[in-house]
Structure 1
């Protein structure tokens, strides 16, 4: 875990002081790392000894061109402070991977150095220039010779040896970095930056799953090769799935590294065991440069006539931009109302004025149409940042953006750190989506960070959604955000009619999950040559595999979830929490019975069942199992080209897809998710239903939505039926006010996890006790009239997390709830030094805080 502090170094006399945001090479223990210069200046106290400080080794960025602009430096510092995150993690997050990390230099021996190695002599270190007189005062020591020999032995031609590897020699060379610097000054060694990247590298390794032991036929053989690594088993499964769902079974290493960052470590045993083969192939183009079947037109939708609502919103946003001051607005538009066209025209005005723009989307892999529309309108001015880029591609894109060559950036949450010069507008599309909140590492919300960055640059920030988050809606109603509403669609078709089917009265088929009414609607739609979407927010074949004899579930050995999900196509049980994968058992693991039965159906089972029950109706499935990498574009292209009548999928269906041929949307289980122990559960279900319903009737034919539910009177379903966001927001805000939950109150969640249950319990109790002590200090400071009941910060817990164990790690949490931010911030500031890792070995625990948590599971 990163240290939550900065480090002070001296600037050498012959080096100009680097600016804030500049990268520098620094000695750090026995290593050399790339660091970022902070804006704060070091102040020495009476007990500090500057003589003990080490010097910077080298500047990475040239003078006047720091890697991070001053506004990004200040943004990183704000994130570290507000989200109580280690400042080093924040800076690392703001820069592409290849721009940070270990020493990027390489060393090679010079001709003089090679001659000295060959001579086996020990002269004084005076072989170099006259500018190194200090070196002539001592002889070449044994450690110096070892270092020279290591460089000479390890270098390949002129490429040299990575300096980072020299710090890991065994046995270690004492003061290796100082010796390397002296050898370089004596011109026995040449040290330079590794900028000799192979710019002709248009080829990369591709990998394919072989037929050996495929399909779980020899589970023991697979386990012997794969070992106990869940990641390695997941990678093997990923390659097998790619071979089954894509026309091309070969997967490039750049694509594999997205879900499996340690791919180069995971692959060798699979290659040696013959489960995977590799081949060097031409590097594929960026998937977002390819056509998925959409037809945005040569100029996008540039020629469309705006509706009155679109025109008023655009004029208001342009006026805010032209005023040259910070402005923030909520663009609340019903589904299909043309929010993207407003973004396009606003950004066109910004580009014409010489500015730049960032467009944040929930998941870039799910919005190829948006990327294509922007490229159709703006061409090469658009940079698309997504997880499929290689480290080199990401660095190249970052450099192009920084140089002003790509003034428009589209990407997921991390794109908020794009170094766009003259940034004048930031758009957060589908601002309500939970994927803008990072759940690991630095737990920031890109939507809120966008507002902070926009304010610092006097830019315009637009938050767009058909179902805004209650935080944004409340801010708009109270005047902190301007509100622009789009209430009509550009097409002549109104919002689709929503029909609710009460499953208590109309029991669904247990296999297809279709009620008789929805089944008939599907048939009528297919016979009319139109398309349908079916929504079920559960992937896999079934969510459980249980024993008929003893009733036990086949559980994940490492998590506390009730059961693993069964995937029929691969005959696997998978834990969607920790990634554990194993072959489906032929008997109960508890009692040995062979009578096993499946639980609730997932998308895979429904796809199989409907295909059997409705012959002639062509089916496709869109979920995480069928749409990894380039398979996503292939699947979307097939559906858009009318090669299927029905597309069944999970919440991925609600993310910005536009299918003109879809006239029917069916929701198989609308109440799924309402029972979760999370205060946002109702809001999330309403948003999902409204968004997925909005996929119907976006072309020139009217749409219809059929919602099947066991809870037809639940507010989330009742308000979604009438597309009444304002009514839902008023109802939900009233409920939140009673509980003090956001956006009325403010939360911070401290989660403690570790492998030893007793250690986790003790750490959680200590954190809670300390937080309560801080809370009592606030009450005492308020005066004699204050009582514990009126405490401005409520401390709840410690309690087990709703999912108590994930990947063998026990989880507990402490919830801090406050009526205002100030006392909560005071407690978090004092709690900061109690966070991070504590202890060693199996008893080590880790405590992290999530400020403004999106979920409590």
Structure 2
């Protein structure tokens, strides 16, 4: 072999051919450095005949510069990259880039400098230095990590380094992680759990692709059940991957994992430092990382000997990526298991309708845990009709809900109030002239955050201080907060129940695993009486003293034209209801609503999941919606509104006229300005028989657009804004 075709990380170019220098050995999957003009870029040697393009004449070929010191990307992962690019109408390069997501990992072995206490004392002791020395006893890490552990600035620690109190230690950047022990603390499972766990364990031992839907009520012990096949994979010397939908859930999960296996798993998520990502990536590629717990991007790690994939809370919307390669990690996990020939477990108390349909037709094996572990009972659920039981003027909590919280305070128990709206209020306006604060980059209102004194956009991150005067009319003391967010609900609890200790739990306050761990610790110690939270608190947390859940506005999720609104509302409310009564004490759920007779609310109140799913399934069937039909969206954007509109109209004029699909639009997207870009959308509703991706590629491929126009394709969209 004297020539190879490489997949290079430049989506505009496509695959490129290179010459193999004498004495250089490569194979399909080898990661290489290749020339592109005056630059050197990274590429992957691909299987012969699998990438498009005509051969380049031998005389024009440039030589590969070097083979990078990492294991080749294995064939199953290469097949997954091809499948994702084809299914999600993305470029091969953009998908492959996710598999090589740590540039530092490609550079080979390396060392790093860490620090530890030397045993000496500083010439002058300050309160901060004293606190740091006490906190860092037995610790060794980088200055930045030690500063986080000690709760002091990096400057304080550098002063201790200069005085010899902290000494440098050279460490191997690729040092192995602590080993998990499969039999470290084998749990006592219920008969139901043991039966399901044995099915999973047998599947891991037998090998081969086997997709499972683990359908268990909240508190049924799904986690302990899928820990057992992880233990089986460890016994066989295989690796396991567990996907979690939120970084904030990892700390509670890590504690349970460490108690079961005697060591923490390897983490993979966007908050890792580059050195941590490098170490994790190389450990996965070498096979020394036994269990990886991560966000959706962990699916593209180069596992050497994968034996099991678990997707926890598999119904979660956050598994769908809304930019770049718009993939759904739940579906990609099933495909990775297919290519790797290993079992995959989708665990959920409220499975997605598509997953249930796959179980119904026999594609997935459905295993159920219908009762809570240890004799705990599911909570009693009731609705509060806000048209009849109106909260006092200027308040948002009905008297019955406040009385329920008061009862829990008297009994030393805890309550949770759920409202899926961050900040203090979703809209701030001037009562004098009517001016509304809008984001300059997005067609969205700015949300007031009183904790930080900022008006913030939750779409692009723009922030501005809350002004003292209206910027339009100049009037002072005229700004009015309209509607409730979690901060406003927390203020109301503090006003009506001043003795209550309140914690606001959102992605703003639990924005790292460490903060999430602090929150869990406070609740478990009984230092919190009332949790006020967004969807972040609907899953993964187990608080035995939490006996009341109040849903502040169950109708909120039903607004806005989301085509999956009913299912998403049911899942969120059912999940948050599942936080109540998980210990020995009975739980209660009160759902505030203006539409108690709406099918989704009535099903929640009756605890009749099957009735809701049957009604939603029939509605989807009639509409030709998933799982009975297909959706896709085409999103056109530009910094120039006219340019975006013209490109959208051009695409609209070229749309195919086929009997198997209906195309709606183009029209301005509901969020017509996002991060400074004007947006138009087309929505496609296709029958299952339509070759949807081929139709879209044939439709969009021949069209040219100005350089400033972006055209994105979203297969199986979850966001409709």
Q: What band does the TM-score fall into relative to the shorter chain?
A: 0.7 to 0.9
Q: Bigger shift: 603-612 or 316-325?
A: 316-325
CA contact (8 A) 1:543 1:600 kept: yes
CA deviation vs aligned residue, 1:610-641 (integer Å, no higher than 9, x gap):
11221211111101221222322222211111
Alpha-carbon separation, structure 1, partners of 2:50 and 2:212: 39
| Aligned-partner SS, 1:200 | strand
Determine the structure 1 residue equivalent to 2:30: 22
Alpha-carbon separation, structure 1, partners of 2:352 and 2:393: 35
Determine the structure 2 residue equivalent to 1:850: 714
How many residue pairs end up in the alignment? 661
CA contact (8 A) 2:183 2:231 kept: no
Alpha-carbon separation, structure 2, partners of 1:27 and 1:620: 55
Alpha-carbon separation, structure 2, partners of 1:361 and 1:501: 33
Determine the structure 1 residue equivalent to 2:43: 35
Of 535, 543, 547, 1:651 maps to 535
Alpha-carbon separation, structure 1, partners of 2:651 and 2:269: 38
Alpha-carbon separation, structure 1, partners of 2:38 and 2:546: 61
Q: Bigger shift: 582-591 or 523-532?
A: 582-591
Determine the structure 1 residue equivalent to 2:660: 792
**Pairwise CA distance, 1:47:** 8.4
CA deviation vs aligned residue, 1:683-738 (integer Å, no higher than 9, x gap):
11110000000001111111111111111111221112233222111111111112
Matches within 5 A, 1:341-352: 341-352=224-235
Alpha-carbon separation, structure 1, partners of 2:518 and 2:439: 33
The structure-2 alpha-carbon separation of the partners of 1:414 and 1:43, relative to structure 1 and needing over 3 Å to count, comes to closer
**Pairwise CA distance, 1:357:** 1.4
Alpha-carbon separation, structure 2, partners of 1:44 and 1:596: 60
The structure-2 alpha-carbon separation of the partners of 1:625 and 1:733, relative to structure 1 and needing over 3 Å to count, comes to same
Does residue 466 of structure 2 align to residue 584 of structure 1? yes
Determine the structure 1 residue equivalent to 2:624: 740
| Aligned-partner SS, 1:25 | strand
Alpha-carbon separation, structure 1, partners of 2:558 and 2:544: 31
| Aligned-partner SS, 2:615 | helix
Alpha-carbon separation, structure 2, partners of 1:710 and 1:2: 52
Runs of 5+ consecutive residues of structure 1 not aligned to the other structure: 105-193, 204-250, 258-275, 284-297, 780-790
Alpha-carbon separation, structure 2, partners of 1:5 and 1:322: 44
The structure-2 alpha-carbon separation of the partners of 1:632 and 1:314, relative to structure 1 and needing over 3 Å to count, comes to closer
Matches within 5 A, 1:460-609: 460-561=343-444, 563-594=445-476, 595-609=478-492
| Aligned-partner SS, 2:558 | coil
Runs of 5+ consecutive residues of structure 2 not aligned to the other structure: 1-8, 117-141, 159-165, 169-181
Of 287, 293, 306, 1:404 maps to 287
Of 83, 92, 99, 1:87 maps to 92
Determine the structure 2 residue equivalent to 1:812: 680
| Aligned-partner SS, 2:523 | helix
The structure-2 alpha-carbon separation of the partners of 1:255 and 1:42, relative to structure 1 and needing over 3 Å to count, comes to farther
Matches within 5 A, 1:32-111: 32-41=40-49, 48-61=56-69, 65-66=71-72, 68-99=73-104
Determine the structure 2 residue equivalent to 1:7: 15
Alpha-carbon separation, structure 1, partners of 2:358 and 2:294: 25
CA deviation vs aligned residue, 1:273-314 (integer Å, no higher than 9, x gap):
xxx99666699xxxxxxxxxxxxxx98973323133x23322
CA deviation vs aligned residue, 1:178-206 (integer Å, no higher than 9, x gap):
xxxxxxxxxxxxxxxx6574422459xxx
**Pairwise CA distance, 1:23:** 1.1
CA contact (8 A) 1:407 1:421 kept: no
CA contact (8 A) 1:512 1:610 kept: no
Q: Bigger shift: 798-807 or 368-377?
A: 368-377
Of 251, 263, 266, 1:383 maps to 266
Determine the structure 2 residue equivalent to 1:149: none
| Aligned-partner SS, 1:384 | strand
The structure-2 alpha-carbon separation of the partners of 1:280 and 1:21, relative to structure 1 and needing over 3 Å to count, comes to farther
**Pairwise CA distance, 1:839:** 1.9
**Pairwise CA distance, 1:417:** 2.0
The structure-2 alpha-carbon separation of the partners of 1:434 and 1:14, relative to structure 1 and needing over 3 Å to count, comes to same
Alpha-carbon separation, structure 1, partners of 2:454 and 2:598: 36
Alpha-carbon separation, structure 2, partners of 1:478 and 1:196: 49
CA contact (8 A) 1:542 1:567 kept: yes
Alpha-carbon separation, structure 1, partners of 2:75 and 2:53: 27
CA contact (8 A) 1:407 1:420 kept: no
**Pairwise CA distance, 1:256:** 13
CA contact (8 A) 1:382 1:407 kept: yes
Does residue 557 of structure 2 align to residue 667 of structure 1? no
Matches within 5 A, 1:290-439: 302-308=186-192, 310-380=193-263, 382-439=265-322
The structure-2 alpha-carbon separation of the partners of 1:524 and 1:834, relative to structure 1 and needing over 3 Å to count, comes to farther
Alpha-carbon separation, structure 1, partners of 2:304 and 2:673: 45
CA contact (8 A) 1:533 1:646 kept: yes
Q: Which TM-score applies when normalising by structure 1?
A: 0.73
Does residue 204 of structure 2 align to residue 199 of structure 1? no
Determine the structure 2 residue equivalent to 1:718: 602
CA contact (8 A) 1:254 1:389 kept: no
**Pairwise CA distance, 1:91:** 1.2
CA deviation vs aligned residue, 1:534-567 (integer Å, no higher than 9, x gap):
1111111111111223323111222212x21111
**Pairwise CA distance, 1:768:** 2.3
**Pairwise CA distance, 1:382:** 2.4
**Pairwise CA distance, 1:766:** 1.6
**Pairwise CA distance, 1:46:** 8.6
CA deviation vs aligned residue, 1:79-134 (integer Å, no higher than 9, x gap):
1111111211111111232258xxx8xxxxxxxxxxxxxxxxxxxxxxxxxxxxxx
| Aligned-partner SS, 2:78 | helix
**Pairwise CA distance, 1:512:** 4.8
Of 654, 664, 669, 1:801 maps to 669
The structure-2 alpha-carbon separation of the partners of 1:436 and 1:501, relative to structure 1 and needing over 3 Å to count, comes to same
**Pairwise CA distance, 1:429:** 0.8
CA deviation vs aligned residue, 1:256-283 (integer Å, no higher than 9, x gap):
99xxxxxxxxxxxxxxxxxx99666699
Determine the structure 1 residue equivalent to 2:706: 839
The structure-2 alpha-carbon separation of the partners of 1:256 and 1:556, relative to structure 1 and needing over 3 Å to count, comes to farther
Alpha-carbon separation, structure 1, partners of 2:590 and 2:185: 31
**Bigger radius of gyration, 1 or 2?**
1
Alpha-carbon separation, structure 2, partners of 1:711 and 1:727: 18
Alpha-carbon separation, structure 2, partners of 1:40 and 1:566: 56
CA contact (8 A) 2:21 2:64 kept: no
CA deviation vs aligned residue, 1:640-668 (integer Å, no higher than 9, x gap):
11111111111100121111111111111
| Aligned-partner SS, 1:21 | coil
Alpha-carbon separation, structure 1, partners of 2:397 and 2:346: 37
Alpha-carbon separation, structure 2, partners of 1:53 and 1:681: 54
Q: Bigger shift: 623-632 or 451-460?
A: 623-632
RMSD: 2.7
CA deviation vs aligned residue, 1:745-765 (integer Å, no higher than 9, x gap):
111111000111111111112
Alpha-carbon separation, structure 2, partners of 1:646 and 1:44: 59
**Pairwise CA distance, 1:442:** 0.9
CA contact (8 A) 1:347 1:425 kept: yes
Alpha-carbon separation, structure 2, partners of 1:511 and 1:803: 30
